[in-house]
Structure 1
């Protein structure tokens, strides 16, 4: 049967659709698993979104992706994402990255185990635990899947926990669908090179505070833009774009619309504005990271053409 680690991957579901002469009738559905709960399996198929009650599932399993990214492609994207979300305190363990930002966000406070740690895996994880202990933080490891599956297996044996699965999604910038015909009265999108105080306040509200380390994470990228939308004198939508990975990748983070301004297409307009800037900077693809359980955001990004490149789990050491 399926597990949470399968979210974001291609699956096939054999579903019971009826009974004929005492025998069950089946139909198969193939698509990307977008949500797995105790009651339903939800997948995105070529015909649209399909939600299958667990009681109707005869069999469900993961199948090879039609075009699975190579290990090198996963490493390159993870390094571009690391460059786009830079921790102020870093270390190296062979090729592995060690990152600390006063506990602000899992991405900036976890080891990134891509490449060769220059020692056996158990010794590498021992060194990760010591590095974070020396920095007064709980050890965390960000495991891109399926690339870091051996690391995940070793962490399982050590009793490490896991945060909810995250989908790393991508789209070719030329493949974005055209913007829908919008309302003429919608406020304009402003792009700046530094975040305003109001912008930072929205980020603080979403991430639970804004220590000095957070300001480094948000701003210490050479090519960067902050999007903001004001309505009635108040900031109602924000976004952040970076160009990293040798200029190939536009990273989209902190796409946020305040509750009173939602359902007006502002998130899509913020993204398209940042995409326009990214194209001008020479980027060819965009990426973002979204928790698989955030179904409204996943649906928004799917409508813009994003598909899951790979997934990751943030693993947390036992207390």
Structure 2
């Protein structure tokens, strides 16, 4: 049976030719496992477990077959490396413009949120560190935006930036704690909750961090598999859930002040987790402030636990380039 549009949504393993000669003397081949996101006349696009996509030319496909949605063995959420989780969270909150600098990711999105307007520091930039900093400064200067670095607290990246004179961002909350959880097979979706593929005006007005709706929508609606959850008409509670590979991201849970302490946030979260499992996720992450005790209490019953903290750094007065 050929790979075609009927395969979209299935989790499959594809064996394909990579060119050259393999160890046995025959054609060299490789395997990739992922969920089929698109198929056209030339290629198949697969989404891997960490949310990365891989395109394989149909002419190179040797064989393929479906695989179970839920493997008997799986990597637990708490076992993922902070650098890998940073890459995963970036895919769930994608910048309007993203440029690779080695393993680093230069992100800009009209200043809508720090996550989409900072360099994600993980791995090796592929250049001497001082040269990489020059590239970071030049990138943000060309976009008329302040240079900002998102670093994992306690990481070698944080130490390197601090050694170059970068300091915690001033006039801002400065970062967040990332929580993760392994998902249960089933959650109770609220029958009164609506889940849309786009952020309409009713949803967006409840999310208090929007200055530029165009930039906000470009980031929020960027992933292929994203849902905007709301309760009430007009909406009095909202949330956003995204699935990239086996990971779900929960964000933007907001309840209007006059409707708080009625369980609406819990209903949004429960519905979001049910949607995530339905769309293939078995792990989830979220980001919040350590000072947000109400949010920490909200997510604790669902098994969310600390994974790592990150913070934003900006060039200081002793920045090595100044």
Change over 3 Å in CA distance of 1:288–1:278 after alignment to 2: same
**1:192 aligned to 171, 189, 196, which one?**
196
Does structure 1 retain, via aligned residues, the 8 Å contact 2:77–2:182? no
Q: Residue 152 in 1 paired to residue 162 in 2?
A: no
Q: Residue 87 in 1 paired to residue 88 in 2?
A: no
| 1:103-118 paired onto structure 2 within 5 Å | 103-118=111-126
Change over 3 Å in CA distance of 1:175–1:165 after alignment to 2: farther
**1:76 aligned to 84, 100, 104, which one?**
84
Does structure 1 retain, via aligned residues, the 8 Å contact 2:227–2:241? yes
Q: Residue 240 in 1 paired to residue 240 in 2?
A: yes
Q: Secondary structure at the match of 2:267?
A: helix
Does structure 2 retain, via aligned residues, the 8 Å contact 1:241–1:252? yes
1:109, distance to aligned residue in structure 2 (A): 0.1
**1:277 aligned to 275, 278, 284, which one?**
275
Matches of 1:290 and 1:170, distance apart in 2? 11
1:59 maps to none
Matches of 1:173 and 1:235, distance apart in 2? 27
1:173 maps to 183
Does structure 2 retain, via aligned residues, the 8 Å contact 1:87–1:213? no
Matches of 2:108 and 2:94, distance apart in 1? 9
Does structure 1 retain, via aligned residues, the 8 Å contact 2:168–2:174? no
Q: Secondary structure at the match of 2:206?
A: helix
Matches of 2:77 and 2:90, distance apart in 1? 22
Q: Compute the RMSD of aligned alpha carbons.
A: 2.4
Matches of 1:168 and 1:151, distance apart in 2? 17
Change over 3 Å in CA distance of 1:136–1:144 after alignment to 2: same
Q: Secondary structure at the match of 1:299?
A: helix
Change over 3 Å in CA distance of 1:218–1:170 after alignment to 2: same
1:215, distance to aligned residue in structure 2 (A): 1.2
Q: Secondary structure at the match of 1:310?
A: strand
Q: Secondary structure at the match of 2:184?
A: helix
The C-alpha deviation readout for 1:93-118, integer Å capped at 9, x for no partner, is 11110000111100000001112110
Does structure 2 retain, via aligned residues, the 8 Å contact 1:187–1:229? no
1:182 maps to none
Change over 3 Å in CA distance of 1:93–1:102 after alignment to 2: same
1:120, distance to aligned residue in structure 2 (A): 2.0
1:68, distance to aligned residue in structure 2 (A): 11
Change over 3 Å in CA distance of 1:87–1:159 after alignment to 2: closer
Matches of 2:104 and 2:115, distance apart in 1? 14
Does structure 2 retain, via aligned residues, the 8 Å contact 1:138–1:317? no
Does structure 1 retain, via aligned residues, the 8 Å contact 2:152–2:311? yes
TM-score for both structures, normalised by structure 1: 0.69
Matches of 2:213 and 2:227, distance apart in 1? 20
**1:310 aligned to 308, 311, 322, which one?**
308
2:40 maps to none
Q: Secondary structure at the match of 1:174?
A: coil
Matches of 1:68 and 1:213, distance apart in 2? 31
The C-alpha deviation readout for 1:226-266, integer Å capped at 9, x for no partner, is 10000xx431000011101xx21111110111111111111
Matches of 1:137 and 1:234, distance apart in 2? 35
Matches of 1:237 and 1:155, distance apart in 2? 39
Matches of 2:294 and 2:90, distance apart in 1? 25
Matches of 1:161 and 1:289, distance apart in 2? 18
2:206 maps to 202
Bigger Cα displacement from structure 2, 115-124 vs 88-97: 115-124
Does structure 1 retain, via aligned residues, the 8 Å contact 2:238–2:268? yes
Long gaps (5+) in structure 2? 1-75, 318-322
